[in-house]
Structure 1
Amino acid sequence: MTTYRFQDSEQQVPIGKIICLARTYKEHAREMNAMVTEDPLLFLKPTSSIIFNKGMIIIPKRSQCLHHEVEMGIILGQKGKNIRVEDAMDHVLGYLVALDITARDIQSMAKKNGWPWAIAKGFDTFAPISDAVLKNKVPDPMDLDLNLKINGIVTQQANTSQMIYTVERIISFISEIMTLEPGDLILTGTPEGVGEIKEGDRLEAHLGSLCSLTVDVKRE
C-alpha cells in the first residue's frame, strides 16, 4: 500500500483514487484548442502511476511523445458525498505539487477516433508527487505560485488564482459524482506551457515555497 510522505508529520495516509481535472486554466485550454466548460472535466489515474521526489519518469515503449503538466494536488482527509461548497475545506488534509504526465501521441490518436484515453494517462510513473504539507501550512490555496523547470529553464509558470474553479467548487462538484474518501488525491489541472519531455531531462516543480519535486526521465 502506497502512502503519502508528509513534511513535519509521521502520518501514514494511504493514497486513494487520483481524480484529475482538465481545462482549469483558460490559457492552457486555448493552447490545446479546447473549450472551457461550466463544470470541471474529470478523469482518473491509477495509484500505480505514483512516484515520489527523486524518482524516475519512464518513457514507455508504446509512446514517442510524453508531455509534462504541473499541478497543485489536494489531499482529502474526510469522507464526503454531496459536500456543500461552504463545507469543502473541512474535508482537506493537505496539499502537494504534482506532475500529470501524458503520452500525447496516444491521447491524440484516441481523441481523433473517439476512444477513451486512460492509457495515455495511466502508465507507471505518470503521476510524480512531492512530499505534502498539511492544510494549516497553507493560508490560501488559491494564491500559490506554481512553476516547472526543465533542465533549469522555466517552462510553466502561473498562480493558482488563475484557476477557473476554486478549491471549494472542485471538491463540491466531484463529491456530487463520487464519494470522496480519506487519502483521495485531486490534481487540479495545469496552466499553459505544456510540452515534451525527453530522456535525460530533469524536471523541478514548485508550489510556492511549500512543496518541491524533482524527477528525471529515461526510456524503458
Structure 2
Amino acid sequence: MPDFVIAPPAIPSVPVAGGGDFPVRRIYCIGRNYPEHAREMGHDPEREPPFFFSKPADALVTGGAETPYPPATSDLHHEIELVVAIGGEGAGIAVADALDHVFGYAAGIDLTRRDMQAVAKKQARPWDMAKAFDHSAPVGDIVPAARIGHPAKGPIALAVNGKDRQLGDIVDMIWPVPDAIAYLSTLVTLMPGDLIFTGTPAGVAAVERGDLLQGTIAGVGTVTTRIV
C-alpha cells in the first residue's frame, strides 16, 4: 500500500437507483449540443465537431442536497442535462459500439457562472472557473441502462420554484449519446466511472439564493437542489 503523507481524499460517487453507488473518476461536458441553446448563446447550431470541458468529480451534489451559491458571481445559471455514466473502458470507440460502454443515465444540472464565462470569452481566456467550481454539478440517481435501455428521445425539463424554465427533447441533440461517446473517445480513453454531461436545451437563466431547482428527464429520472 502507498505510504501517503496526507489522508487520501474520499472518492466522489453518485447513488444508483436500486442500491449501491457509482464511483466517479472524471466529468466531461459537451458545450452547445442543442440547436436552440446554441442560438440563444449567439452561435450557429450547424453540426460542427463537438467541444468539451470538464468539472472536477468532487463538484457533484447528490441526494437532493442543497447547493451553496458560489462566490465571484452575480449571474449563476442553470442548465439541465442528460448525464451518461460510463461502465466500460474504451478508446477510438465506433458509434455502433458506443452504447456497450454505458452503465446508466441520470438527470444533472450544469451550473455556470455566466458573468465570469462572458468575461473569459471576451478576453479569449479559458473559462474553467466559470464551470468547474465547487458544487457546480448537482445530479440525480443513476438508473442502470439494463433497467431502462438507452433513451434517445423524450422530454427534458427544468423548473425553478415550480415554474417551467427549460423544456426540450433529448432527440434534438446535435451529437446524440453514441456519437458523443465515439468522438470523445478519440480524444481521451474513457474509463469506468466517467460521467458525460450531454448539453442543455434552450431556456437557461439566472437563479438566486432560495430557489428550488427541479429537473426531469422522461424515462430517466429527476434532479433536485435548492440554492442556498
In which range does the TM-score fall when normalised by the shorter chain?
A: over 0.9
Supply the AA of the counterpart residue of 2:200.
T
Worse overlay, 202-211 or 192-201: 202-211
Which among 16, 38, 50 is matched to residue 6 of structure 1?
16
TM-score between both structures, scaled by the size of structure 1: 0.95
Structure 1: stretches of 5+ with no match in the other structure: none
CA distance in 2, matches of 1:210, 1:118: 28
Which residues of 2 match residues 190-209 of structure 1 at below 5 A? 190-209=200-219
**How many angstroms apart in 2 are the aligned matches of 1:209 and 1:216?**
23
Does the alignment pair 1:90 with 2:100? yes
Task: Look up the match of 1:23.
Answer: 32
| 2: CA distance, partners of 1:97 / 1:144 | 13
State the distance in 1 between where 2:154 and 2:147 align: 12
The answer (yes or no) to whether the contact 2:15–2:63 under 8 Å persists in 1 is no
Distance 1:188 1:67 in 2: 17
C-alpha displacement of 1:140? 4.0
Count of aligned positions: 217
Distance in 2, Cα, partners of 1:195 & 1:75: 26
* Structure 2 unaligned residues grouped into runs of 5+: 1-10
Decide whether the 8 Å contact of 2:16 with 2:22 is kept in 1. Answer: no
TM-score in terms of structure 2 length: 0.92
CA distance in 1, matches of 2:63, 2:167: 20
Residue number in structure 2 paired with 1:35 = 44
Q: Tell me by how many angstroms 1:214 deviates.
A: 1.1
Conserved in 1, the CA contact under 8 Å of 2:85 and 2:103? yes
Indicate the larger mover: 131-140 or 89-98. 131-140
The question of 1:145 aligning with 2:155 is answered yes
Secondary structure, aligned partner of 2:215? strand
1:163 Cα offset (Å): 0.8
Task: Give runs of aligned pairs for residues 47-62 of structure 1, distance below 5 A.
Answer: 47-62=57-72
Q: Percent identity?
A: 36
**Aligned-CA RMSD value:** 1.1
Instruction: Tell me which of 132, 137, 146 is aligned to 2:142.
Output: 132
Kindly indicate whether residue 164 of structure 2 is the aligned counterpart of residue 164 of structure 1.
Answer: no
Q: Distance in 1 between matches of 2:202 and 2:22?
A: 31
- SS of 1:148's partner is strand
